[in-house]
Amino acid sequence: MVTIDILLMVASSVAVIAISATYLFFRSVRMRPSNSQSDESLTDMASSLISVLATAGFVVDNSLAVLRATNSAIALGLVSGRVIRSNEIRKLVRSAKDSDSTHEVEFELTLGAGGDVRYLHARAVSIGSGFVLVLVEDSTDERDFETIRRDFIANVTHEIKTPIGAITLLSEAMEGALDDPKQMHKFADSLRREARRLSNLVTEIIQLSRVESSDILSSARPVNIGAVIREALERTVVIAEAKSIDINAKFPDDIFVMGDGELLTVAVKNLLENAIQYSDKNQQVGIGVTTRNGHVDIIVTDQGVGIPADEQARVFERFYRVDESRDRTTGGTGLGLSLVKHISMSHRGEVTLFSQQGVGSTFTIRLPRLVDTSEENTHE
């Protein structure tokens, strides 16, 4: 998220510098006496300058007729031929025409009948002789990012408050049950579960922000997929044994990808953990590796509860859980698969899911293989 933040800051700084430069340029040109030739070169220069900006822009004359417009201004439907199509911009131009300062307006624009809404920020400045230069930036992505950030913080706050509230209540309940060892055991058990939930949550939030804020590929090293799977198996052996689940693991030891070994281990561990947690006692879980067309597939299968078809696209969203009540007992956070998705994407890969309710699930992490793509082996 920090990366996106920085990119947005850089992008908006570049836009502001470019717009300020354009504005200063035209202010200086405006000081000169006007004649029809300089008016023409004025609009010519305006056109050349707006064409190098990434923003939409156009120049209008005294009667609000559009003289030049960038393709993006036309594509957005802000102008058509010589006419300004947007009421907001028409009003803006009128107010900027006889003024010395830059006038600004923010407004929503619905694109076509489909209703895709864009958030635009328009600036207009008089460039002399009745001409007005209009520059329009599309801030939709920035606003979407801000909404995602706000939702994420609201979710984190809610998710953290839940176990903290439970821990407070349980500690009060324990005080009232000091003479009842059976009750004390029950409360201690619940306390442990809530503490584990809190700890999982904090760990996964930190991991998620690490994946999102760093450029994994710039510090990537060759990673042995066999070593990643072995480590992930080691981290899940306790929960697998607790449910008497046998993990059938078959994988080669000579398959490499470029990336971050610890993050890839977290991704595989999360898939194994889910496979175990959403299976019944004594069921089978499998992990295997296949290579094809320059890709490595790490495949985790289970015979567990499965995921309903209409929920499958959503399970990769942050904090999304199919069955919240079940998650209370597993200590799940709803962040595990979101992490798997981000880790896969940051390695130029992807994660896919095939699942049938009551039959089981198969998750596949596909990564670009490090090598010699001519080789076509399959290991299962």
Q: CA-to-CA distance for 3 and 141, rounded, in angstroms?
A: 14
- Output 69 or 272, the one with its CB closest to ligand ADP: 272
Q: Which of 333, 344, 346, 364 binds ligand ADP (CB under 6 A)?
A: 333
Supply the minimum distance, in Å, between the C-beta of residue 327 and ligand ADP.
Answer: 5
b/e per residue, 197-206, with b = 16+ CB within 10 A? bbebbeebbe
Residues 362, 299: contact at Cβ < 8 Å?
Answer: yes
Of 74, 323, 348, 371, the residue at the interface with ligand ADP (CB under 6 A) is: 323
Residue selected from 321, 347, 366, 369 as contacting ligand ADP according to rule CB under 6 A: 321
Q: Are 261 and 332 in contact (CB under 8 A)?
A: no
Residue closer to ligand ADP by CB (options 204, 260) is: 204
Determine which residue in the list 163, 288, 336, 349 makes contact with ligand ADP, applying CB under 6 A: 336
Q: Beta strand 246-250 with 284-292: parallel, antiparallel or unpaired?
A: parallel
Q: Which is nearer to ligand ADP, 55 or 338 (CB)?
A: 338
Using CB under 6 A, pick the residue from 49, 322, 343, 367 that binds ligand ADP: 322
Q: Determine the interface stretch with ligand ADP among 66-74, 83-91, 243-251, 304-312 (rule: CB under 6 A).
A: 304-312
Scan residues 223-282 and list those touching ligand ADP (CB under 6 A).
Answer: 270, 274-275, 278
CA dihedral 322, 325, 327, 331 (to 10 degrees): 160
* Interface pick for ligand ADP out of 46, 89, 315, 343 (rule CB under 6 A): 315
- Among 27, 327, 328, 368, indicate the residue that binds ligand ADP (CB under 6 A): 327
Q: Please tell me the count of residues contacting ligand ADP according to CB under 6 A.
A: 23
Terminal-to-terminal C-alpha distance of the chain: 37
| Cα–Cα distance measured from residue 303 to residue 308, given in angstroms and rounded to the nearest whole number | 14
Give yes or no for a contact between 297 and 289, defined as CB atoms under 8 angstroms apart.
yes
Q: Which positions from 79 through 108 interact with ligand ADP, judged by CB under 6 A?
A: none
Candidates 109, 334, 365, 370; binder of ligand ADP (CB under 6 A) is 334
What's the min distance (Å) between Cβ of 280 and ligand ADP? 11
Cβ burial 342-380 (10 Å sphere, 16+ → b, else e): bbbebbebebeeebeeeebbbbbbbbebbeeeeeeeebe
Q: In whole angstroms, what is the distance from residue 227 CA to residue 92 CA?
A: 62
* Residue ranges in contact with ligand ADP by CB under 6 A: 270, 274-275, 278, 302, 304-307, 315, 320-323, 327, 332-338, 361
